[in-house]
């Protein structure tokens, strides 16, 4: 990767599925919070030009963290949907990043991104005309259910991938894609979906399946095992 890149981290979500009052990005994990682990690969990378974190309105926790004083990090208010938070981050970058600068969007609750996967994404997409995302091939047998919770169909898993983050696109393409999705009233679940709607085909870059997102309480235990397995003995 020969050029700098920017990072947006949507972090305005709640803790509904975790069953607690603390947003999952602030939960303790292996001696840090989840969001500290999620940001660590970008803060350690020499080509990171800056990071924008889209926070919930009146977030009481961020300002207490040491990360809040990190020079490369900027904050903005996020929105009700993921794309609203990413668009808010892009507005911050409008005066800082060139239209063709790379912007990486990463989940605040995805703490197991490895430096190796980040470097692979940057290298494979450095000269790509569209951009793309880290993803993992589906290895399980997939079943489609009917309305009674019974198997209606076994779905072929060939050519199916699980979308991970970061997802990496040029600033202008990403901004146009998300703005058009919002104008159509489509709540996209990731940035690639919005870019696909422009008629473009993001590239899938093979990533480690251990790059999990904290969604349920049991994910914390799995993430801790992954992170501790990478630590020197």
- Residue 204 tokens read as 């899938």
Is the CB of residue 125 less than 8 Å from the CB of residue 118? no
Tens-binned pLDDT, residue by residue, of the chain (233 aa): 558 999 999 999 765 555 567 899 999 999 999 999 999 999 999 999 999 999 999 899 999 999 999 999 999 999 999 999 999 999 999 999 999 999 999 999 999 999 999 999 999 999 999 999 999 999 999 999 999 999 999 999 999 999 999 999 999 999 999 999 999 999 899 999 999 999 999 999 999 999 999 999 999 999 999 999 987 65
Residue 28's alpha-carbon distances to 22, 110, 156, 205, in angstroms, are 10, 13, 38, 30
**Angle, nearest 10°, between helix axes 34-43 and 217-230?**
40
For the chain, domain boundaries: 5-230
Q: What global pTM score does this model have?
A: 0.94
Q: Which of 166, 178, 183 is nearest to 83 (CA)?
A: 178
- Supply the pLDDT for residue 13: 75
Query: Pick from 187, 191, 188, 189: which is nearest to 168 by CA?
Result: 191
170-173: long-range contacts at Cβ-Cβ below 8 A with a sequence spacing of 24 or more? 170/99, 170/100, 170/101, 170/102, 170/103, 170/131, 171/6, 171/90, 171/93, 171/94, 171/97, 171/98, 171/99, 171/100, 171/101, 171/102, 171/103, 172/99, 172/100, 173/130, 173/131, 173/198, 173/200
Contact 103, 171 (CB under 8 A): yes
From 1.10.3210.10, 3.40.710.10, 3.90.550.10, 3.40.1080.10, which CATH number describes the 5-230 domain? 3.90.550.10
């Amino acid at each position: 990767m020969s050029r700098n890149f920017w990072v947006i981290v949507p972090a305005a979500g709640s803790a509904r599925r975790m069953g607690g009052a603390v947003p999952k990005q602030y939960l303790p994990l292996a001696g840090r919070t989840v969001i500290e682990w999620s940001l660590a690969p970008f803060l350690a990378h020499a080509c990171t030009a800056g990071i924008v974190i889209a926070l919930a309105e009146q977030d009481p926790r961020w300002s207490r963290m040491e990360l809040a004083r990190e020079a490369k990090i900027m904050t903005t208010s996020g929105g009700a949907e993921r794309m609203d938070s990413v668009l808010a981050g892009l507005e911050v970058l409008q005066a800082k990043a060139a239209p063709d600068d790379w912007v990486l969007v990463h989940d605040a609750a995805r703490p197991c991104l490895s430096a190796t996967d980040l470097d692979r994404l940057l290298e494979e997409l450095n000269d790509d005309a569209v951009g793309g995302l880290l993803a993992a091939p589906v290895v399980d047998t997939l079943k489609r259910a009917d309305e009674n919770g019974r198997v209606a169909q076994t779905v072929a898993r060939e050519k199916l991938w699980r979308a991970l983050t970061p997802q990496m696109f040029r600033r202008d393409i990403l901004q146009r894609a998300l703005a058009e999705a919002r104008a159509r009233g489509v709540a996209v679940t990731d940035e690639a979906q919005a870019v696909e709607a422009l008629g473009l085909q993001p590239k899938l870059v093979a990533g480690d399946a251990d790059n999990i997102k904290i969604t349920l309480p049991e994910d914390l235990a799995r993430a801790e095992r992954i992170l501790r397995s990478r630590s020197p003995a």
